[in-house]
Amino acid sequence: MIEPLTIPISITWKDHHIQLLDQRKLPATIEYVDLKTVDQVFEAIVNMTVRGAPAIGITAAFGLAMGAMQSTKDQLEEFQEEVLAIKEKLASSRPTAVNLFWALDRVSKAAESATSVNEAKTTLLQEAIQLQAEDEQMCRDIGEYALELLNSSEPVLTICNAGSIATAKYGTALAPFHLASERGTQFEVYACETRPVLQGARLTAWELQQSGVNVTLITDSMAAQTIRAKGIKAIIVGADRIASNGDTANKIGTFNLAILAKEFNIPFYVAAPSSTFDLTIDSGIEIPIEERHPDEVRKIQGISIAPENVPVYNPAFDVTPADYITAIITEKGIIKAPYITGINSLIS
């Protein structure tokens, strides 16, 4: 029997404001925060109350619509200037995940041809609601394609949280596990803890347990030993931005896993919706890599684990060159090398 996925929804539009599942508090507490101003939306993306490329995009889309609805301008031109300023503010929250810019562009473009302020406000909100609904469907479709490549009797490794709470629902890299679970089949999944912010330990381990998936947590440095000792047969990860040539930015540590996959001769899959492709850039060199606060490395959950002022390098993402990627799984189908050709025909 098919049991629908029971993971909490991370982003909910509540008529006039946004409600977010507070991902910073998981797994200890399931708590929601209400965002009623554009500044609060900006902060929630920066401080990772909401995180994960598609979820950031959806939140920003609702943030733009909410800010526009709160506008008191009655002249269309002045209103549009205000919308542009809100868009620029939200776009400056995090630099790497292209879904943020894609979502803001899509929602603002939809309202460009509006002939009145009221029509523009309605269109902005409708587009944000539509974008969220489409993301859920895209994630389901990604999950179905991923199930064509993965075998539920073989252990799989993942990093970070490319799961339901990082999207509208189901996730990207975790979608096949949730779909299989709904159908009564449990995958065996190894989750890297994903230092420094621990999305793997706090979010993926929790999310997969909620869904009944057979998940085991490891620290990031245990990946090679786990692949050998536990017979990992595939690695699957999400993405924050994929360049035209297939180079893929994802959570820091992803490239390490791709190198291991090559060494152990196992497939390395990237799962992402078309909103994660950036066809304006040729290769991964052009992807901006976010560097976050040093205290994320000096501390774990607020507790110091290093000298207070030790210098830190804290890139939040790395770029895996396309040659290391066995296939990119999208909602439109599975893309294999040569990526330029596949991406152009399927995504653009």
Ligand X SMILES: CSC[C@@H](O)[C@@H](O)C(=O)COP(=O)(O)O
Active site positions, annotated: 240
What is the token pair recorded at 341? 């050709």
Taking CB under 6 A as the rule, does residue 97 contact ligand X? yes
Stretch binding ligand X (CB under 6 A), from 12-20, 49-57, 222-230, 337-345 = 49-57
Nearer to ligand X, 132 or 172 (CB): 172
Total residues interacting with ligand X, rule: CB under 6 A: 18
Pairing of strands 234-237, 268-271: parallel
Taking CB under 6 A as the rule, does residue 7 contact ligand X? no
- Known binder of ligand: residue 175? no
Closest-approach residue to ligand X (CB): 238
Taking CB under 6 A as the rule, does residue 330 contact ligand X? no
Q: Which of 240, 147, 246, 160 is nearest to 197 (CA)?
A: 160
Angle, in degrees to the nearest 10, between helices 223-230 and 254-264: 40
CB of 96 to ligand X, least distance (A): 8
Stretch binding ligand X (CB under 6 A), from 67-75, 119-127, 162-170, 226-234 = 162-170
Residue 50 CB-half CA count within 13 A? 35
Which listed residue (212, 238, 253, 284) binds ligand X by CB under 6 A? 238
Q: Which of 131, 191, 124 is nearest to 11 (CA)?
A: 131
Taking CB under 6 A as the rule, does residue 167 contact ligand X? yes
Element (H, E) at 145: helix 117-149
Nearer to ligand X, 110 or 175 (CB): 175
Taking CB under 6 A as the rule, does residue 320 contact ligand X? no
Nearer to ligand X, 123 or 172 (CB): 172
Nearer to ligand X, 54 or 342 (CB): 54
Which listed residue (157, 316, 319, 343) binds ligand X by CB under 6 A? 316
Cβ(306)–Cβ(114) below 8 Å: no
**Residues of 309-326 as b/e, b for ≥16 C-beta within 10 angstroms?**
eeeeebebbbbbbbebbb
Taking CB under 6 A as the rule, does residue 240 contact ligand X? yes
Residue 33 gets the label, from left (phi > 0), alpha (psi -120 to 50) or beta, of: beta
Pairing of strands 188-192, 214-218: parallel
Which listed residue (49, 172, 181, 204) binds ligand X by CB under 6 A? 172
Residues 6+ apart with CB under 8 A from 117: 71, 73, 74, 75, 76, 79
Which listed residue (5, 18, 53, 146) binds ligand X by CB under 6 A? 53
Residues of the binding site for substrate: 51-53, 94, 199, 250-251
What residues line the site for ligand X (CB under 6 A)? 51-54, 97, 160, 162, 166-167, 171-172, 199, 238-240, 250-251, 316
